[in-house]
Chain A
């Protein structure tokens, strides 16, 4: 199966935060969990999101093997197995940087549709 990946062109991030709200809406999340997060460091905007790493540190960290990477290259979390220990969040290079609260489960086409932005390319 063809691999997909979610790429943010960081240099083009203008700090509109639309990706954050689109994500919250898509996954019906309230205040708290932030799967994607845009950090503002005057005058840079840094989108932090799941990189779907080839060797996800989170996968290694998970004590119950709830995290897997499928053949499309998408890192997935199995909510039925997850015991909520947050070891994965500690382990994640991205997450640790920005308190991103989980994995990014959407495919790239969905992301394009969600934000309607030209800034996110496969």
Chain B
């Protein structure tokens, strides 16, 4: 046993970016612990990050490139893997054009800049990410409304926090970590929680609004109704800085009287009134919102109304409200991504680009368009794919269609850690490095005002960090890249005057934060104001004012379905040990959560003869999935809550049980069910029925 060496780095087992001290002994990481000096996580780590050694040294991890033949997977060299991939892509480009290749990622393991650059230089506009319904969609909606993503400013102690469809103590720590929220809360902030489930936060809350799943936009309009009626808004701000206020007020008064909002959302009028008053009259107040609001047809509009609330109450870019963080002066992800390299002609070929204009502007496509292009070859054929750290067979809507589409591709290359059900469909497997094996100016795409040094702690097998894979594959296809990963990082850092080696020692950089920036230069929108009436949406021919649109499959919109599918399924429940479809094979984490869980109200369960711990079929018109019942009297009896992301790595067949407990067997990805501007898929709210599994 040699000496233990401690190295600082940054976690990426989820979007969080928490600071880590890795203990290395004999070239192996033996332990990780939280870095108390991290400016964003202050020493805290969650289960996922703490279990990284079980990911990195997992016996099933693929440590060398492989190709699939009739006889199964075979080890090959990096040269052969990259040459084959480049050759197959070139064939497709010659025959069908670069748009016939889709380049996709999942949540992105902090290589968004390299991923986009690769796609742009390849010449394909068909970039497939989670962005159509997660984070990028939130960002896109704020860009057209107020020019930037307004982040809840925990650092400056909001006096009131609205936790809207999110629990950062468990999951989804994008800009904000649970620890930052907790510190502000412990200092005495009032807490309003909007959540269909009773849980730790809703029990702590001053006010808990148990909303009907998917109706958040209507609830936000209800808040506005109170704020307008009781004149709780910041008149000066609204006069000077809001575009379209009068038209918006008209809509709120006409279409969202509290009685109607109560009918839509199931939240009592007086509770909406109390919550709106508390938020509007406590200064400063911040709204922290999460992906469930994005993963419906109301994706863009909910975010636009939430921004409206921040603006109308004078909390926008105010300390302790929702602020625009100033990034440090590193080169931006967008510059690195070389979006300008993609010709106008190619941009016009973006699948679904004409329809989902805001999604197209954010440079992504909605997955449905990719599956249509593969399966029906409409509007043109897509023949090949390169998927990086993503498992769409489990994580995207209408999983059956996803599986059929990926199976039909002429050629698929995958980069990942494990042979997931998606990876099993590939022809070439490229072994990616975990965050322990990555050098990167990390978190550069985030809007919290920091970049952090993720430094390579170890190398494992023949794995490469994805950045290097993009570069080396790109160079084989004649693309312009740097010689080494670190040279590219040097270019990113150049404006700061630091080299990569210097930055690693410093550990992080923060931009010079200033507040109320709009006072000097307005907001970065066409009118320089907060656009409640969006001039961009108007120009594109969409409704310029935000509204609530009924969920496409609900008891309200589809009463004809209710007899067969009487419950509202709240799909996509997340738990702290897993990051979407990841970690089901990690012993420490799976031990805590061995089975997929479906939460059912005790009355509903009794009606179906279901008891705690029983296996239950959950069924929609598109398919079914099997999860284990947990009785929860903290949900509405009309609502069923189910976990997402499940497959069974322990099953040895190549499909690894992708279709057994996969809630996306049930979800819909029809164009009618999507957000009309963004192309956000409705992964969250649909109609279902339940029944006990007889065979268990």
Contacts and interface: CB of A to CB of B under 8 A. Distances in A.
Contacts of A42: 198, 599, 630-634
A113 B576 contact: no
B600 to A, nearest CB: 11
A16 B34 CA distance: 15
A114 B31 CA distance: 11
A22 interface: yes
Contacts of B588: 20-21, 24-25, 31
Interface in B18-59: 31-34, 36, 41-47, 50-51, 53
A43 B199 contact: yes
A102 B155 CA distance: 40
A25 B31 contact: yes
B50 A43 contact: no
Chain A interface size range: 20 to 34
A24 B53 CA distance: 12
Interface string B609-639: 0000000000000000000001111100000
A115 B33 CA distance: 8
A117 B44 contact: yes
B519 interface: no
A21 to B, nearest CB: 4
Nearest to A114: B33
Contacts of B43: 116
Contacts, number: 84
Interface residues of B, number: 42
A42 B198 CA distance: 8
B587 interface: yes
B254 interface: no
B298 interface: no
Contacts of A115: 34, 44-45
A63 B223 CA distance: 66
Interface string B161-183: 00000000110000000110011
B34 A17 contact: no
Contacts of B631: 42
A118 interface: yes
Nearest to A13: B200
Nearest to B182: A118
Contact of A20 (B47, B169, B182, B201): B47
B198 A116 contact: no
B635 to A, nearest CB: 9
A56 to B, nearest CB: 26
> Which interface residue of B51, B183, B202 has the most chain A CB atoms within 10 A?
B51
Contact of A43 (B34, B170, B200): B200
> Which interface residue of A14, A30, A34, A113 has the most chain B CB atoms within 10 A?
A14
A54 B94 CA distance: 78
Contacts of B33: 113-114, 116
B577 to A, nearest CB: 6
A15 interface: yes
A96 interface: no
9 contacts: A15-B170, A15-B576, A21-B50, A21-B51, A31-B588, A42-B632, A43-B197, A43-B198, A116-B45
Interface of A: 14-18, 20-22, 24-26, 30-31, 34, 42-43, 45, 113-118
Interface of B: 31-34, 36, 41-47, 50-51, 53, 169-170, 178-179, 182-183, 186, 197-203, 576-577, 587-589, 591-592, 599, 630-634
Given A14-B169, A25-B53, A42-B198, 10 more contacts: A14-B170, A16-B169, A18-B47, A18-B50, A21-B47, A21-B50, A31-B591, A42-B633, A43-B200, A118-B183
